[in-house]
Structure 1
Amino acid sequence: MAELVFFSGTMDCGKSTLALQMDHNHAARGRSGRVFSRDDRAGVDRISSRLGLEARADEVRDDTDFWRVVTDERARGRAVDYLVCDEAQFYSPAQVEQLARLVDEMGIDVFAFGITADFRTRLFPGAARLIELADRVEVLQVRSLCWCGARATHNARTVDGRMVVEGEQVVVGDTAGEAAGPGAGGAPRVAYEVLCRRHHMRRMTADTARATTSGDAVLL
């Protein structure tokens, strides 16, 4: 029985690594699949892991129709047994519904990977629809850690080192610590960091904690 499975977790918990492993395992057993991603850190048409693994993927765009992609493939005589869909939080609810239809009407397994909530702690529309429709939601067991050592449960966005809780929902940036200095052309540098709920509520990132410890700032 085909399934729609949503593998979720915060950043740094191994979602893309598992997506690549899932594709490898199924392909090794002779199954034919397609790999999709959207707004990957490595660029367009790529799926990448922070461990250094990287592979080609089909870029999901606003007008991507998964049903049409699969029916076109089958019309050309190519089998499609499964789909691996990374960064699924960026898919539209309609695209998630297309994935569910492929499972139900074509018997195609769909393995979706993504985070659930944005830097404002609000659900991404794509992730919300996946939670509503998935046969199973699997929370990845590899725990991301806040700078304090507690389990990280929230994704924080920083702009030039300062945590923000307002702005566009989707802005691609670096993971905190991977980039230094201003962004390209002197633009503000956007980065992301995982935090526990307590420090997300306090807006206390690793940089803020270091400054507080050194006496350069005061925690209010």
Structure 2
Amino acid sequence: MPELVFFSGTMDCGKSTLALQIAHNRSARGLQVLIFTRDDRAGEGKLSSRLGLVTDAVEAVPGMDLYAHVVDRVSQGGKVDYLIVDEAQFLEPVQIDQLARVVDDLRLDVFAFGITTDFRTKLFPGSRRLIELADRIETLQVEAMCWCGSRATHNARTLGGEMVVEGEQVVVGDVTGFDEEVGYEVLCRQHHRRRMTSGSVRASALSPDVLPVGSD
């Protein structure tokens, strides 16, 4: 039976790499994929991983009817055997409903990849709808690590290496940068709650075992 599957995890846990691997494995067996993505780090209409792999994709812009796009592709003679949707957390809830319709009406598997919560630990609307509708939810087993060595469970937004907890939900940034640009870092719950990023620890010359004054 076709399924809507949501692969979730924090940043740096290999979601896009797995998406590309699934596409590679299935294409080797003659299956044709249709890839959607949104706000990929490599630019519009691209699916990329931090390992340097990249492929073309359809940019799922706001207001786009994903179900209608698939139907149009097939009606014009294109072959579609399954869908991959990366950065699914950025999709509108109605677009997640359209993906479910692809599974139910067109009988195609849909593999969606995305992070669950934002830098404020709040659910992304797209992720929330996927949790509500998915046939299966798979937590990726490649564990991202906090700077302290513990398993990272939360996504943090940084500015100049300092964690921020206010601002727009979606701001595309560099997960490796600690300059004055917007960046992202994965943290364990303890250090997310204490707003202790690797940049702030280095700046204050604290060891990982020393808590900042006033910490609860």
In the aligned structure 2, how far is the partner of 1:130 from the partner of 1:210? Answer: 38
Pairwise CA distance, 1:159 = 1.4
**What letter corresponds to residue 103 of structure 2 in structure 1?**
V
The answer as to whether partners of 2:45 and 2:57 remain within 8 angstroms in 1 is: yes
Does residue 87 in structure 1 map to residue 87 in structure 2? yes
In the aligned structure 2, how far is the partner of 1:149 from the partner of 1:54? Answer: 29
**What letter corresponds to residue 212 of structure 2 in structure 1?**
L
Inter-CA distance 180–120: structure 2 relative to 1 (3 Å threshold): closer
Which residue of 1 is the match for residue 159 of structure 2?
A: 159
The alignment partner of 1:78 has SS state of: coil
In the aligned structure 1, how far is the partner of 2:151 from the partner of 2:44? Answer: 31
**What letter corresponds to residue 55 of structure 2 in structure 1?**
A
In the aligned structure 2, how far is the partner of 1:181 from the partner of 1:167? Answer: 18
Q: Among residues 197, 203, 208, which one is paired with 2:195 in the alignment?
A: 203
Q: Deviations over 1:11-54 (max 9, x none)?
A: 00000000111111111111121111110111111111111111
**C-alpha RMSD of matched pairs (Å):** 1.5
Which residue of 2 is the match for residue 76 of structure 1?
A: 76
Pairwise CA distance, 1:56 = 1.0
Matches within 5 A, 1:115-134: 115-134=115-134
Which residue of 2 is the match for residue 6 of structure 1?
A: 6
Inter-CA distance 105–214: structure 2 relative to 1 (3 Å threshold): closer
In the aligned structure 1, how far is the partner of 2:100 from the partner of 2:206? Answer: 52
Does residue 108 in structure 1 map to residue 104 in structure 2? no
Matches within 5 A, 1:5-84: 5-84=5-84
Q: How many positions carry a matched residue from both structures?
A: 211
Which residue of 1 is the match for residue 173 of structure 2?
A: 173
In the aligned structure 2, how far is the partner of 1:33 from the partner of 1:198? Answer: 40
**What letter corresponds to residue 48 of structure 1 in structure 2?**
S
The answer as to whether partners of 1:212 and 1:219 remain within 8 angstroms in 2 is: no
The answer as to whether partners of 2:160 and 2:178 remain within 8 angstroms in 1 is: no
Inter-CA distance 218–197: structure 2 relative to 1 (3 Å threshold): closer
Which residue of 2 is the match for residue 219 of structure 1?
A: 212
The alignment partner of 2:116 has SS state of: coil
TM norm structure 2: 0.94
In the aligned structure 2, how far is the partner of 1:54 from the partner of 1:118? Answer: 24
Which residue of 2 is the match for residue 186 of structure 1?
A: none
Inter-CA distance 214–148: structure 2 relative to 1 (3 Å threshold): closer
In the aligned structure 2, how far is the partner of 1:202 from the partner of 1:181? Answer: 21
Q: Deviations over 1:43-70 (max 9, x none)?
A: 1111111111111111110021111111
Identity of aligned residues (%): 61
The answer as to whether partners of 2:60 and 2:66 remain within 8 angstroms in 1 is: no
In the aligned structure 1, how far is the partner of 2:153 from the partner of 2:93? Answer: 24
In the aligned structure 1, how far is the partner of 2:158 from the partner of 2:149? Answer: 20
TM norm structure 1: 0.92
In the aligned structure 1, how far is the partner of 2:131 from the partner of 2:17? Answer: 21
The answer as to whether partners of 1:212 and 1:218 remain within 8 angstroms in 2 is: no
The answer as to whether partners of 2:36 and 2:85 remain within 8 angstroms in 1 is: yes
